[in-house]
Amino acid sequence: MSYLADVAALARKDLLLELRAKETLPSMVLFGVAMLVVFRFALPADAPERASGGLLWVAILFVALLGLTRAFVAEREQHVLDALVLAPSDRSAIWLGKAAATLAFLAAAEAVAVPAYVLFFGGVGWATLVAVALADIGLCAVGALLAAMAVSGRARELLLPLLFLPLAIPVLIGGVGSTVTDDPARYLAFLALYDGVFAILAWASFEYVVTE
Amino acid sequence: MAAVVARAPLVHARGLEKRFGPKRVLRGLDLDVAAGSFVVVTGANGSGKTTLLRLVAGLAAPSRGLLVVRGERAQLGFVAHDPLVYRELSALENLDLYGRLYRIPERRVRIGMLLERFGLWDARAERVETYSRGMQQRLALCRALLHDPTLLVLDEPYAALDDEGAALLDRELAERRSHATLLLATHDAARTAQLETDRLVLAA
C-alpha cells in the first residue's frame, strides 16, 4: 500500500503542477484539435471511412508525444529528479506516478479531440473507445520510461520521438485495426498484451534509467 | 590524495576516480569518513568537490575504484547546488511531498517545526518561484533535514544565505554534530573550522 501511496503522491504533484502552470494540457488539446482540422481539409471528400479512422490514431499518437515531451520538464529544469531518486521509495514509483499523470492529461485531451473527430468525420464505435483507453495505457507506460531516458540527454527533444515512435507502431496497428475491422476483439487483445508486456518492462527497467 | 580517518568508516573509498568523457575530475582518491565525524571538503573550482559528494550520495557512479557508503538511502540528507524543489509548488507542498515519500510520522508537525526554525513559516504557502535565492536555500535545508538523516552531505550550503540564515545553519550543524555524520563542501572552511573533525583538500 505504501508503494501506491508514493505513486499517488507523485501523480498528485504532477496534476498540481499542471493546474498551476497550465502548459501541457492546453497544448495537447489545441494540438489535437488543430491536427483534426488539418486532416479534415487534407482528406478528399470521397475518401473511405477507413482512412479517417487512421487519422484519429495519428492524432492520438502525436498528442501523446507532445504530453510526454513535457513530462519531465519540471524535474529537468530544477534537477528535482536527484531528490526523488534519493527518496527511499521504490524508484519505479516515479515512473508509475509520471505515467499516471500523463495518462490523465492524455485522457483529458481526448475528451475534447474525440468529439471533435466525431464532428468532422462521423461517429466512433465502442471498440474504438476501448482501443483508445488501452492504447493510452501503453503509450504512457512506454513513453514515461523513454521520457526519463531522454531527459538527461543533450538532444532530448529529438531523442524522445526517435525512441518513442518506433515503439508506438504496435499501438498504431492495434488501434487502427480495432477501428476499421468488423472483428476488433483480436486487436483489442493485442493492445492489452502490449500494455502488459511494456508496463512490466518499463517498471522493471526504470531504476536503471534514473541511476548512473 | 589525502586519507582522512581510519576508524569504522561510514564512507570508504579507495582509488576513487571519476571521468566525464576525456576529463578526469577525481583521481585515485582514498577517503574514510568515520561515523559521527564532520569532514569538510575544500579545493579550487573544478577540483571535484561536487562530484565527490554526488558519488557519496549515490547520484553518480565511480569510473574506477572502490566506494562503499554504509547505511540506507532513507538515512541520507543531501543539499545540492540547486534546491531540488518544485518552483511552482509552495514550501509546504514541496515538503509534504518529500514527507510522504520518506514516510515521516507526524510530518505536518515536523514540517512546521523546520519552516519555523528556518524562518519560512510566513511564506509557507507562497510558490517557491517567488522566493529569493536565500529563501530557496533555506527550503533546501528544510528538505534535506526533514527526515532527520544520520549522514548529511552538503554542497556549499552557505551559498546565498544571508547572515541570519548562515547563523541558523551554524546552529543546526552544531546540533547535528552530536548525532550525525557530516560531509560538507565549501570554499569558506573557516566558517566550520570549530566543528570539523577532518578536512579533505582536493587538488584541481
Per-residue pLDDT of A82-118, as tens digits, reads: 999 999 999 999 999 999 999 999 999 999 999 999 9
pLDDT band at B43 (very low <50, low <70, confident <90, very high): very high
User: Would the pLDDT of B3 be above 70?
Assistant: no
User: Would the pLDDT of B172 be above 50?
Assistant: yes
Rounded distance, CA A7 to CA B15, Å?
39
Nearest residue on chain B to A94, judged by CA atoms?
B101
Nearest residue on chain B to A78, judged by CA atoms?
B84
Interface touch A86/B57, C-beta < 8 Å:
yes
- pLDDT value of position A192: 98
What would the pLDDT profile of B83-94 be if each residue is shown by its tens digit?
Answer: 999 999 999 999
Buried residues in A132-143 as b, exposed as e (16+ CB within 10 A): bebbbbbbbbbb
On whether any CB of chain B is under 8 Å from the CB of A2, the answer is yes
CA distances from A210 to A76, A81, A122, A206, B21 (A): 12, 8, 44, 7, 19
Closest Cα in chain B, distance from residue A212 (Å): 5
- pLDDT value of position A45: 80
Residue with cell 536555500: B137
Interface touch A86/B98, C-beta < 8 Å:
no
Predicted TM-score (pTM) of the model is 0.92
On whether any CB of chain B is under 8 Å from the CB of A10, the answer is yes
- pLDDT value of position A211: 83
- What's the average model confidence in pLDDT over B42-68? 94
* B contacts of A83 (beta carbons < 8 Å): 78, 84-85, 98, 143
Rounded distance, CA A151 to CA A166, Å?
18
- pLDDT value of position A104: 98
- pLDDT value of position B5: 46
Rounded distance, CA B40 to CA B59, Å?
20
Average pLDDT, chain B: 93
User: Would the pLDDT of B2 be above 90?
Assistant: no
List, for chain A, all residue ranges whose pLDDT scores fall below the cut of 50: none
Q: Which three cell numbers stand for residue B143?
A: 528538505
User: Would the pLDDT of B7 be above 70?
Assistant: no
Q: Where are the alpha helices (DSSP H) in chain A?
A: 2-21, 24-42, 49-69, 73-77, 80-86, 92-121, 126-151, 156-180, 185-210
- pLDDT value of position B49: 95
User: Would the pLDDT of B6 be above 60?
Assistant: no
- pLDDT value of position B8: 64
Element (H, E) at B166: helix B163-176
Q: Residue A197: how many CB atoms within 10 A of its CB?
A: 14
Among A69, A44, A91, A26, residue whose Cα is nearest residue A159: A69
- What ipTM does this complex have? 0.91
Closest Cα in chain A, distance from residue B172 (Å): 21
